[in-house]
Amino acid sequence: MWEQLNIHLVNFIFTLFLSLLIGMEQRFRHHIKEKDTQLFGTDRTFAFIGIAGFVFYLLNQSIPGIYLTAFVVLGALLAVYYFMRMKQLHLYGATSLLVAILTFTIGPVSYLYNKWLVVLIVTSILILIQIKKPLQQLVSRFSEKEFIILAEFLIISAIILPLLPDQIIIPQIPVSPFKFWLVIVLVSGISYVSYLLKKFVFPRNSIWIIALLGGLYSSTATTIVLSRLSKQNEYPPKILAPAIWLATGMMFFRVWILAFILHPPLARLLTLPLLSLLIVDLLMVIPFYLKFKKNHTQTSTKTPFSRNPLEWKVALIFALLFVVFLTLTHYVVNRFGTTGLTELAFLSGLVDIDPFLVGIFTGQYDTSLQLLARISLVSIGANNIAKAIYTLLFGNKTLARFALPGFIILIILPFLWAYIWL
């Protein structure tokens, strides 16, 4: 008996406190902050609604159906109030009424589920009420295509991907339709996240944002874009060079994320090398950023992912390269053993690092994690060689002179990690 009494007491206090908290928020927002005299109710009203839900839920154990009846009556009364308010005052907001209905359910939910879930629901209610204006500002920045783009991404990631089989169909191509499409989803996802960050979090198109987000998507493409700017005299080479290094630093982070998603044990082994490379990269970039942040100008230069947020063509080409490199890797392993993988890693790094590494992360190879980690670092070092060459080809001589010392460090360190540590 005492145990049952304690449960009722705890749940009653819990329900009263959370209901009163919601009502206090309503009073602060509408009566104090917005001076709204036509509000449905505040602290005491919502406390009574919460208590009513608690009481009717207890009565429902002896009188089945009374809670549902009370819920319907409350909804009907709120509906009448809403239509009268809409007709007489031409006020169409229904947020407070919906919050009142949710408050009525706090008591039953506190009995049926864990307390953390009730707190999560109430916290979500309070946050959603308070972020009305930020949400309005966010939506005002949406274009007509935003929801179409989101729907497209949901279709390829949440509908098509789960329906594909995860078994190899063609023996000569060691990849399943699921993994092939997963690569498309990953590439499109990285591009889409970069697009969202660029548009809604970092709307100012500065050189550092181009390097940061562009490197997160494709450090090679970003290197080419930034190198070309040196011939247009839009930025001094002393800013472009560290920006290019920053894009390469984001490549280290991107490789670790891909490894963590596709091959967690290998990601753990690569954590120290990639983290050290990222730290060294940032140590090279930060002094330049602090020195020039007050003087850098804005540019209208488009980032590599600005035209199509999902980059369908790029994702498809990436997936095809992934299949090619994975098939070639399996051929090399079957024909020459694992001894040929290091040379293949170097050559692939000079072309495109991600398809090869995704193949390494997803492939089932009868070899040690140390060798796979070494192969990954060799490919990273080779890719940095390629970006240094692109800087020389697409940038002017002054940019090459400033960028080359940093690239030498970023080239040597992966090979040192590959052949000394591993």
Question: Rounded to an integer, what distance in angstroms lies between the CA atom of residue 191 and that of residue 277?
Answer: 23
pLDDT, averaged across the chain: 81
Alpha helices in 168-236, H assignment, sequence order: 177-196, 207-229
pLDDT at 264: 92
Find the domain containing 104 and state its range. Answer: 2-138
- Same domain (yes/no): 20, 169: no
| DSSP assignment letter at 337 | G
Percentage of the chain surpassing pLDDT 70?
83
pLDDT at 265: 92
pLDDT at 304: 44
Between residues 297 and 202, the one the model is more confident about: 202
Of the residues 115, 138, 161, the one at which a domain ends: 138
The number of domains in the chain is 2
Helices 264-292 and 369-394 pack at an angle, to 10 degrees, of 30
Of the residues 88, 122, 138, the one at which a domain ends: 138
- Same domain (yes/no): 168, 203: yes
- Same domain (yes/no): 100, 164: no
Q: State whether residue 163 is helix, strand or coil.
A: helix
- Same domain (yes/no): 101, 198: no
Of the residues 94, 123, 138, the one at which a domain ends: 138
pLDDT at 377: 94
Mean pLDDT of 359-365: 77
- Same domain (yes/no): 183, 234: yes
Q: What is the pTM of this model?
A: 0.62
**30 pLDDT tier (thresholds 50, 70, 90):** low
Between residues 334 and 177, the one the model is more confident about: 177
Between residues 412 and 139, the one the model is more confident about: 412
Nearest to 255 by CA among 280, 273, 281, 279: 273
Question: Rounded to an integer, what distance in angstroms lies between the CA atom of residue 96 and that of residue 329?
Answer: 61
pLDDT above 70 for 135: yes
Handedness of CA 48, 54, 58, 64 (dihedral sign): positive
pLDDT at 298: 46
pLDDT above 60 for 260: yes
**36 pLDDT tier (thresholds 50, 70, 90):** low
Mean pLDDT of 338-344: 75
Handedness of CA 104, 108, 113, 114 (dihedral sign): positive
